[in-house]
């Protein structure tokens, strides 16, 4: 009897829209999958629309579900619409005091305006050496060969929390939950070399690799776990004090690896590395590295209170700029970079309201969505830019409408270029590897995953076309899944492959 009612319910859900029943192969496969143990007890929403507006698959299209990193599709698309694909963040090199002869008698400020790519380690941005060389060139142009003062990392442009308050506590110390700052360094992360101890119960071997943060009081309580117990290492830290502690286990027999954790003092880190660059090259700096704290005071050590207030009236020596937003958005979607996504959300907030606080940023993004979607914008609940918050919510209907509007807009080609294909470097690298490369290249989509959540949304391009207006547009959201990630992913990849075959048949 229970199976009978489930079958009736699924049949009713396959009626869309206007009472027309969806009878495609992919719809049949979707209904069949929902009867299996893989999706038992799960919440699933699906909508796939053909280039002519025909419905290829539908299930719970107006149910709002957690999108995980599918949220980045909304963030990157809205940012391209709001700021433009050519938008660039800026960083200014400024100073306080005065220049006397060849000496700056004052402090040199590195003033951040939200550029997430500063010394990021990506190919899209200059290396630290190349960037520092440009900044040193600005000093040379001004005739400065000595600084009687400090190098100051200035992130005052951003007020408020770097992390969203709904992010889970364990995520805050990870590289993917590090939080945004107006002045960043190496995507606000820190690399640690970790390896198992000699036996279960012995300490995990841990060493800071890069960047150096000599002001941090780091301890490790991490222990080596039994064989097969996996990796449950988490760093616990915050910007309230220069203290961090590694906890969890790392199993016997696991290969040594580099773990990426959060650096909560990126402004000081950047000042520290530029100070080292200058002094190593024979450029005297008497005051050492400092940063501006949340109260506007200068600090050289986060464990000590600031005494001197940071200068308010600065004179600018020069400005450097980030890569274009289109390139940042591409990196965001290819590797599902939370830090980059949050920076794009903050930039929208600054443009619309003058504030980078989360409340202002959400107002800004919702204004863009309402302008694009009208009443359908109610199908999207925005809490952050990355999808790390479980308070985000999207209906398949709203996602598909958003993607179709992006496809038909002047920004369609720029947006499509930010989306990876299965087999591309990044989060889709190991998907659909058994299918022909030419088929995989026609799929442009974003994944989204967290515990009990797996989602895929995007486009399937027509053969020989790079125009997303000619594509199948789809959204598949699964929540509360208790089956293995592998079994859920396998089913979803089969649905996407069937969508491609349905497109061929049409």
What are the tokens at 73?
């599709």
Dihedral (Cα; 174, 176, 177, 179), 10-degree rounding: 120
Q: What is the pLDDT of residue 350?
A: 95
Is residue 379 in a domain?
yes
What's the CA angle centered on 9, arms 3 and 14, to 5 degrees? 125
Is residue 144 in a domain?
yes
Q: What is the pLDDT of residue 2?
A: 40
Among left, alpha and beta (phi > 0; psi -120 to 50; other), residue 458 is left
pLDDT tens digits for 265-300? 999 999 999 999 999 999 999 999 999 999 999 999
Is residue 243 in a domain?
yes
Count of other CB atoms within 10 angstroms of residue 60: 18
Q: Of 305, 323, 341, which residue constitutes the final position of a domain? A: 323
pLDDT tens digits for 165-189? 999 999 999 999 999 999 999 999 9
401, 376 in Cβ contact below 8 A?
yes
Work out the percent of the chain whose per-residue pLDDT is above 90.
92
Q: What is the pLDDT of residue 7?
A: 42
Same domain, 38 and 105: no
DSSP class of 177? G
Element housing 267 (H / E) = helix 266-280
Same domain, 59 and 149: no
Query: What letters, b where the CB count within 10 A reaches 16 and e where it falls short, cover 361-395?
Result: bbbbbbbbbeebbeebbebbbbbbbbbbbbebbbb
Q: What is the pLDDT of residue 16?
A: 52
What are the start-end ranges of the E strands in 150-297?
151-154, 189-195, 205-210, 217-220, 223-225, 234-238, 241-247, 249-251, 257-262, 289-292
Is residue 473 in a domain?
no
Same domain, 176 and 29: no
401 closest CA partner among 418, 420, 376: 376
Q: What is the pLDDT of residue 505?
A: 63
Q: Of 267, 302, 323, which residue constitutes the final position of a domain? A: 323
CATH number at residue 453: 3.40.710.10
45, 60 in Cβ contact below 8 A?
yes
Is residue 455 in a domain?
yes
500 closest CA partner among 460, 470, 468: 460
Q: What is the pLDDT of residue 24?
A: 93
Average pLDDT of the residues of the chain: 94
Same domain, 361 and 316: no
DSSP class of 255? P
Q: What is the pLDDT of residue 312?
A: 92
What are the tokens at 428?
């889709």
399 closest CA partner among 109, 60, 89: 60
Q: What is the pLDDT of residue 286?
A: 97
DSSP class of 323? P
Is residue 491 in a domain?
yes
Same domain, 318 and 333: no
Same domain, 76 and 170: no
Q: Of 323, 349, 376, which residue constitutes the final position of a domain? A: 323
Q: What is the pLDDT of residue 138?
A: 98
Q: What is the pLDDT of residue 503?
A: 79
Same domain, 119 and 172: yes
Q: Strand pairing of 108-112 and 151-154? A: parallel
Residue-number span of the structural domain to which 377 is assigned: 2-85+326-466+480-505
Same domain, 128 and 194: yes
What are the tokens at 409?
């807009």
Q: Which residues of the chain have pLDDT under 70?
A: 1-20, 505-506
The total number of structural domains in the chain stands at: 2
């Amino acid at each position: 009897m229970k199976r009978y009612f489930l079958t009736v319910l699924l049949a009713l859900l396959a009626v869309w829209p206007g009472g027309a029943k969806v009878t495609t192969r992919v719809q049949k496969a979707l209904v069949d999958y929902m009867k299996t143990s893989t999706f038992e007890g799960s919440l699933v929403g699906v909508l796939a629309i053909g280039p002519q507006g025909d419905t290829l698959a539908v299930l719970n299209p107006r149910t709002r579900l957690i999108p995980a990193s599918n949220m980045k599709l909304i963030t990157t698309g809205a940012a391209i619409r709001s700021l433009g694909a050519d938008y660039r963040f800026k960083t200014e090199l400024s100073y306080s005091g005065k220049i006397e002869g060849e000496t700056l008698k004052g402090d040199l400020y590195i003033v951040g305006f939200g550029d997430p790519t500063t010394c990021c380690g990506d190919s899209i941005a200059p290396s630290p050496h190349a960037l520092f060389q440009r900044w040193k060139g600005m000093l040379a142009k001004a005739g400065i060969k000595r600084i009687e003062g400090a190098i100051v990392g200035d992130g005052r442009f951003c007020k408020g929390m770097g992390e969203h308050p709904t992010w889970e506590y364990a995520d805050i110390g990870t590289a993917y939950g590090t939080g945004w700052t107006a002045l960043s360094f190496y995507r606000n992360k820190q690399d640690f070399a970790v390896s198992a101890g000699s036996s279960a119960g012995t300490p995990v071997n841990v060493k800071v690799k890069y960047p150096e943060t000599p002001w941090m009081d780091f301890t490790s309580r991490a222990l080596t776990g039994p064989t097969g117990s996996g990796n449950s290492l988490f760093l616990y830290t915050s910007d309230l004090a220069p203290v961090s502690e590694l906890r969890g286990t790392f199993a016997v027999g696991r290969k040594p690896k580099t773990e990426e954790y959060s650096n909560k003092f990126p402004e000081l880190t950047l000042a520290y590395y530029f100070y080292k660059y200058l002094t190593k090259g024979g450029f005297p700096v008497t005051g050492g590295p400092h940063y501006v704290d949340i109260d506007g005071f200068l600090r050289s050590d986060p464990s000590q209170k600031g005494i001197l207030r940071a200068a308010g009236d600065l004179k600018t020596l020069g400005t450097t700029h980030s890569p274009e937003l289109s390139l940042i958005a591409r990196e965001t979607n290819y590797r599902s970079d939370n830090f980059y996504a949050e920076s794009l959300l903050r930039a929208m907030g600054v443009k619309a309201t003058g504030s980078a606080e989360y409340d202002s940023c959400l107002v800004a993004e919702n204004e863009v969505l309402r302008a694009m979607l009208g009443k359908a914008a109610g199908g999207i609940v925005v809490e952050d830019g990355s999808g790390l918050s479980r308070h985000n919510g999207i209906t398949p209907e709203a996602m598909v409408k958003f993607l179709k509007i992006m496809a038909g807009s002047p920004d369609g080609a720029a947006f499509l270029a930010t989306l990876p294909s299965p087999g591309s470097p990044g989060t889709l690298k190991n998907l659909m590897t058994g299918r022909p490369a030419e088929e995989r290249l026609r799929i442009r989509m974003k994944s989204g995953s967290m515990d009990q959540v797996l989602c895929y949304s995007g486009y399937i391009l027509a053969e020989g076309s790079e125009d997303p207006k000619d594509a199948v547009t789809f959204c598949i959201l699964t929540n509360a899944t208790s089956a293995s990630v592998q079994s859920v992913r396998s089913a979803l990849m089969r649905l996407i492959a069937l969508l491609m075959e349905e497109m061929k048949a049409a």
